[in-house]
Every structure is written in structure tokens, then in C-alpha cells.
Amino acid sequence: MRFLALGSEVDVSFPGMSREDAAALGRAEARRSWELYQAGIIREISFRSDVHRSVMILEAPDESAACEALGSLPFVRAGALSFEVHGLVPYDGWARLFAPED
């Protein structure tokens, strides 16, 4: 099943974290995102055009698995990022318009 995940920054200040540690966390985030992409879980990743927030299309057996994958991201684990997750179903508009009538 496919899911739309909309990212929201929770706290990007990283209280008590040095700039170097925050940069290392960013690299870990990119690495984990790449691993999820390679595993076929993240299918697409983009940023919104109006704000610098991530938008992902995920492939997972169910919403729980999609949320678990997102929860493995370092920024999510650090409490700096959260995701709103929505299940997607295939568009059936063409079938309604063009399927032969019985």
C-alpha cells in the first residue's frame, strides 16, 4: 500500500547540541532516508515549494509499518520532525468514465 507522508518541523533548534552534532544528525538522516529508498519503502521524496518541509510517498504493508519506517529517521527519533501519514488508494476515475457498461 502507498502512503503520503507530510513532514513538519517540531524543534529544529536541537537544544544542547553542538553545530557539529547537528550536522552529523543531518548526515545520519540522509543515510537512513537512502536506506529506506534502497529498500523500496521511500518511493519518492520532495520538498514543498511553499515551505522547506518534506513530502514522501512510501510503500509499506500497512500504516503501522509506514509509521515505523518514518520513526527510524534520526530527526524523528530526536523529536525534531514529525509526519502526518495518509493512506492512498488507486485512482478509479478512468474506470468510472471508460469501463464498458454491462
3-state helix, strand, coil split of the chain in percent (to 5) is: 40, 25, 35
Query: What pLDDT does 12 receive?
Result: 66
CATH of the domain at 46: 3.30.70.1060
**What is the count of structural domains for the chain?**
1
Q: Which domain holds residue 28?
A: 2-98
The reported pTM is 0.85
Q: Are 2 and 41 in contact (CB under 8 A)?
A: no
Q: In what order do the strands lie in the sheet with 2-9?
A: 42-47, 54-59, 2-9, 81-88
Q: Are 88 and 1 in contact (CB under 8 A)?
A: yes
When pLDDT is averaged across residues 45-50 and rounded to a whole number, the result is 95
> Is pLDDT at 81 greater than 70 in this prediction?
yes
